[in-house]
Structure 1
Amino acid sequence: MYTDETLNCTDCNAAFTFSAGEQEFFAAKGFTNKPNRCPDCRAARKSQRSAGGGGGGSYGGGGGYGGGRPQREMFQATCSACGKVAEVPFQPRGDKPVYCRDCFSQRQSSYR
């Protein structure tokens, strides 16, 4: 049985209630830690992350697309199939073929 708990937000230091219903939800999801932020600060942090802002998360990355990750370095290469200039997220070594997006997609779909 759960009872409402009063906690202090680590961001704004305001007191907030961690309700019995929220505790039950956390337990059902397997969460073992209590929330550190009040609902307002949680919502602000979530919107900041979904807009490509700061990190967090248990694996060093943030939520959402590109959340907190540095921009990946891209390299220029010549497509081995069509000869067009392509940008790839790795340094081509010359010992394996490199394909532009269109040729790569075409090759991938032919394997399925």
Structure 2
Amino acid sequence: MILARTTPLDKVKKPSECLEMRRLKKMGGRAVDTNEVFFDNYTIPSSSLIGAKNKDFEMILHGMNAECCLLAGEALGLGYASLSKAASYVKTRVVFKRQIGMN
């Protein structure tokens, strides 16, 4: 987990030559960028510590609880939208003089 501030792009300075980021191309879900992040001998000053030392996994689990709910809601919404679209389609699609949704 990486925490960051929302600094304007023109104010961002590369913190170290040890950090490299590459944007990944995606077919969908473009509302949020996805990147590869490489840390090569990257050091973080102790003044940047967030939370208690050696409690990082607990913090990640706490954050993942909300993430699980968010992803479940997204999946339910996409499923509902897909089902609605499919139901509309089968009412209008005719094959061999018969609607495909008729059985």
Length-normalised TM-score, structure 2: 0.29
Q: Larger RCO: Structure 1 or Structure 2 (Cα < 8 Å, ≥ 6 residues apart)?
A: 2
Considering fraction of residues, name the structure with more helix. 2
Length-normalised TM-score, structure 1: 0.28
